């Protein structure tokens, strides 16, 4: 595996992660994430979240009946052996009050190669300014 192969894998896996979040596909999310995933995200109101239960709540909600699309903008990927960090802005297009709107979030995600498979171990999401 070359450095470029690892970079391609991290971008593909991150895209897959965002698609499964958008689709409410819990099985794929669980497969991609380490059970001890940690994060800071706006929904946790400044608290560090540890584990997957907090995230599962959102997957149990009814899926959106209107189209939602996430786009990774200008990703920066750093590979450090068996650890990878990807940082980017995520644009999410959705329908609100019948009109298309776009939200922007700054996201940093950390991946760890465990037994030869990349697992998502930490992320930080905040609204882009």
Q: Which residues bind ligand GLY (CB under 6 A)?
A: 21, 41, 55, 123, 125
Residue 66: in which H helix or E strand, if any? Answer: none
Work out how close the CB of 59 gets to ligand GLY at its nearest, in angstroms, rounded to a whole number: 9
| Residue with smaller CB distance to ligand GLY, 58 or 83 | 58
| Residue with smaller CB distance to ligand GLY, 2 or 60 | 60
Work out how close the CB of 123 gets to ligand GLY at its nearest, in angstroms, rounded to a whole number: 6
| Residue with smaller CB distance to ligand GLY, 55 or 119 | 55
Q: Which residues have a Cβ under 8 Å from the Cβ of 28 and sit 6 or more positions away?
A: 16, 20
The DSSP code for 67 is -
45: left (phi over 0), alpha (psi -120 to 50) or beta: left
Phi, psi for 75 (deg, rounded to 5): -65, 140
β pairing state of 117-127 and 83-96: unpaired
| Residue with smaller CB distance to ligand GLY, 29 or 99 | 29
Work out how close the CB of 125 gets to ligand GLY at its nearest, in angstroms, rounded to a whole number: 6
The DSSP code for 43 is G
Work out how close the CB of 55 gets to ligand GLY at its nearest, in angstroms, rounded to a whole number: 5
């Amino acid at each position: 595996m070359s450095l470029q192969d690892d970079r391609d894998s991290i971008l593909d896996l991150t895209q897959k992660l965002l698609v499964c979040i958008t689709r409410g596909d819990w099985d794929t999310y669980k497969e991609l994430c380490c059970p001890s995933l940690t994060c800071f995200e706006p929904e946790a109101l400044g608290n560090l979240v540890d584990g997957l239960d907090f995230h599962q709540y959102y997957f149990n909600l009814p899926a959106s009946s209107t189209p939602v699309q996430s786009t990774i903008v200008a990703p920066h990927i750093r590979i450090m052996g068996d650890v990878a960090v990807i940082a980017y802005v995520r644009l999410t297009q959705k329908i609100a009050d019948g009109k298309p709107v776009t939200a922007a979030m700054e996201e940093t995600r950390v991946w760890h190669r465990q037994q030869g498979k990349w697992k998502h171990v930490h992320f930080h999401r905040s609204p882009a300014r």
